[in-house]
Amino acid sequence: MPDPRFFESRGPISLSDLAVLTGATLVKASDAERSVSAVAPLGRAGKMDVSFLVDRKFLGDLAGTRAAACFVSPGHADSPAPDGCALLIHGQPQAAYTLAAAHLHHSRLHPTSDPAIHLDAEIEDGVVFGHGVVIGPGAKIGRGTDIAANAVIGPGVTIGRDCRIGANAVIGFALIGDRVRIYSGAIIGEAGFGVAASATGAMDAPQLGRVILQDGVTIGANSCVDRGAYDDTVIGENTKLDNLVQIGHNVRIGRNCVLAAQTGIAGSTVIGDGVQFGGKSGTGDHLVIGDRVRLAAGGLTMRDIPTGETWCGVPAKPIRKFMREIAWLARKAEARERAGAHD
């Protein structure tokens, strides 16, 4: 179930109604009166959840799921599913899952008719607010925290003690530790970039996770940290992000990392401790970057990087290999220039 501090549940819904809502077909009519109340990935789903399957490589997850129901494509209609998991056939299972999520889960809101600093917020002594600050219902702000002008703290957000939140920063769907610095214009907890194909075009896939910023983290001005699609986006203790850094959904960054300006980390990448990214560097998605890795400025890796290595270039490679290739190209260019001078 998505965190109730940030999401309201609108379930349950019967599988017959869910089939009508999404345009799916139940494999077994006898499952029509069963109900679901939430969406979840196959590996995380429980007995009241509905999930989806689009890729054969996840058939093992389907066979072992605890989900009450699963959207599958016509080609997977005969897939082995547990007795307790009803199958709903849909030409685009992820689109059906997206419709189900939109029906079952709604983001908590801060009604415009309520005070800007909501009466349900829990604010410890010594918190300082600038002009125009908005604090949503259920938010918790720790002692000694300073929130600058026009910052917006969404419903349910927890911010620890002795933090500094810059002007015009926006924080939602987030749990934030002590001594965290979030500079002006940063956006924490916005929806990650997830898209589901449908018969009517691209749909925004549900983003039902959170952001967790551990103690001592710094987020630079105008940087963005997306909340998870279902799991959390996590930034470890004392990690420092420069200005204009983008962290995609489900990313997990270790402790004491440093990411220079305009770095971009694509979704579901896992980064170890003590990693350093130079300016304008980045990663592809679903990668594993080992402890103490260094990626030089402008480097872009589409592969995992083993612990302790230094890579550079596009596509990135170990720095010694990169330098040998550059030296070889330089020698070839010189030789061609000399040959042209003798013609």
Q: What DSSP element (H or E) covers 20?
A: helix 15-22
Backbone angles phi, psi at 257, to 5 degrees: -95, 155
Cα–Cα dist 116/134, whole Å: 5
Note every long-range contact of 278-283, with CB atoms under 8 Å and residues 24 or more positions apart, other chains counting: 279/242
Structure tokens at 75: 């080609």
Residues with a known catalytic role: 249
Distance, in Å, from the CA atom of 206 to the CA atom of 62, rounded to the nearest integer, reads: 20
Q: What are the C-alpha distances in Å from 21 to residues 15, 36, 103, 201, 207?
A: 10, 13, 9, 17, 20
C-alpha 295, offset from chain centre: 22
Longest dimension (CA), the chain: 87
Report how far residue 7's alpha carbon sits from residue 10's, in angstroms, rounded to the nearest whole number: 10
Give the angle 150-156-160 at the CA atoms, nearest 5°.
75
Distance (Å, rounded) from C-alpha 57 to C-alpha 71?
Answer: 15
